[in-house]
Amino acid sequence: MSDQNHTDPPSDFALRVRALETLLSERGLVDPAALDELIDIAEARIGPRTGAKIVARAWADPDYKRRLLENAQEVTEELVDITGANVIVLENTPDVHNVIVCTLCSCYPFRLLGMSPGWYKSYAYRSRVVREPRKVLAEFGLTVPTSTEVRVWDSNAELRYLVLPMRPEGTEGMAETDLEKLVTRNSMIGTGRPLTPGEVGAT
């Protein structure tokens, strides 16, 4: 279930999109540079770095974390406009592990996390994570202790969820900008964990 599939050939859909982009560019209807800029905004600037900023601030500032858990909509809008969908932040703890899904389609907080990964939209993930969440998480390389309750939250058109992962050990005293680098997209979905400082240094 891992999304580490960059060696796979492009899907038929991806090939059709690429062909359409090429055709529109050749006819002068689309500026390739402008298109690249839009993709960069969606993938890198809007998210998942926006979500990472929120998580890092919550790790570093207890009052911000309290406000975030009490009224995520108001707090997240301090960084990005998420008009149209209510947002709830779910805190992972040693006792509870949260994971999000959209069982009907692929509702996803893209303004916080960037473009949704292909596996999130797949029928396999949408159907299986509800029935057998521990097994699905294990396929992502995430083993949740049996003593920890796994809660699956179903997003919809009016409601989006963001997982607040547990802060990695050994990060006391780190600046927020450095904490942001530890936050992964999957850790904010609940299918992964944040990086450790050592893992960031190794990348």
Report, as residue numbers or ranges, the catalytic residues.
Answer: 102, 105-107
C-alpha to C-alpha distance for 176 and 115, rounded to whole angstroms: 23
Q: Are the C-beta atoms of residues 150 and 76 closer than 8 Å to each other?
A: no
Helical pair 12-26 and 32-40, crossing angle rounded to 10 deg: 140
Q: Which residues in the chain belong to E strands, given as ranges?
A: 86-91, 96-101, 149-154, 159-164
CA distance 17 to 2: 23
Q: Do the Cβ atoms of 188 and 55 come closer than 8 Å?
A: yes
Place of tokens 């960084």: 79
Residues 6+ apart with CB under 8 A from 188: 48, 51, 52, 55, 112, 113, 162, 163, 164, 165
Neighbours of 194 (CB within 10 A): 24
